[in-house]
Amino acid sequence: MNTQAHISKPGLKQWLTSDTPKSRFQAKCGRAWLGWIKFSENKLAMIGLSIVIGLILVTIFAPLLAPYDPLAADLTNRIQSPSAQHWFGTDQLGRDILSRLIYGAQYTLLIVGLVAITAAPLGLLVGTAAGFFGGWVDATLMRITDIFLAFPKLILALAFVSALGPGLENAILAIAITAWPPYARIARAETITVRKSDFIEAARLQGTSNMGLIVGHIMPMCMSSLVVRVTLDMAGMILIAAGLGFLGLGAQPPMPEWGAMVSDGRQFLLEQWWVATVPGIAIFIVSLGFNLLGDGLRDVLDPRGGD
């Protein structure tokens, strides 16, 4: 009798939690699974993840979720209080605030997404180059970084937008220009820690070029800390974008950007509070969600940064 027939095949959970992975892919999947288990135990982090996923879903399905055209004005229904027809009321032009809020999520996600994929790689490249080469390269790049860090992000973004001109594209560019220095600092610190490691020296002896060492070995070591920092900075990016929109330097009318919506409703704040309060609450909730998500990722990806 074949005894192997009585041995059941290991399930997915056993495969993921195996102490002796058979391949690098299995080891990576196992680490990801253990990280998810730890992350899911953090209730606040799960709330943050739910908020971010909700933002993404609202962005994708905005045409299906919005009950009205966000740009259609109806002066006969201007400044209507929340009701069954307009859950969050209407603004000074009779536009449905809920619909504008739903479509405004697209601009919020667009801003944080584009800033993340432009500022983070730039900061990573500058930081790893400075930490790896040292000497005058390090001194030059870090002094440039210090100049950017010397100014508050919002003030620096205002200066860039004033020079480039108002508009959503220029606002995104200005935020990206001001967001990269902290990532460069983190990448430099990580690079200095690992640049003399044995695996770096072994790769160098195998003939790997300096660029190959930076891209293939050092940058991946910096990714976990960078992902955590980017996630935590999302809230600040949202607030800066909302601030630029509030001042009329970001998204231009009639685009339903949340900061611009708050600016439009400030003159009605005392009597028609919902016009400015509802988009303000949306900014608060999404910013809180990214902060909670970032805290959870920090506990999983960068245990040294936790309590």
DSSP letters for 44-113: HHHHHHHHHHHHHHHHHTHHHH-SS-TT---GGGTTPPS-SSSTT-B-TT--BHHHHHHHHHHHHHHHHH
Most confident of 11-15, 153-157, 287-291: 287-291
Residues 285/289/291/296 CA torsion (nearest 10 deg): 160
Radius of gyration of the chain from Cα atoms?
A: 24
Residue 1 within a domain: no
Residue 53 within a domain: no
User: Residues 114-156: pLDDT tens digits?
Assistant: 988 999 999 999 999 999 998 899 999 999 999 988 888 888 8
User: Residues 220-244: pLDDT tens digits?
Assistant: 888 888 888 898 889 888 998 888 8
> What average pLDDT is seen over the chain?
86
Residue 31 within a domain: no
| pLDDT score of 291 | 93
CB count in 10 Å sphere of residue 197: 13
Domain count, the chain: 1
Residue 84 within a domain: no
List of E strands, the chain: none
Any idea which residue has 């970032």 for tokens? Answer: 294
Domain extent for 228? 90-305
CATH number for the domain spanning 108: value is: 1.10.3720.10
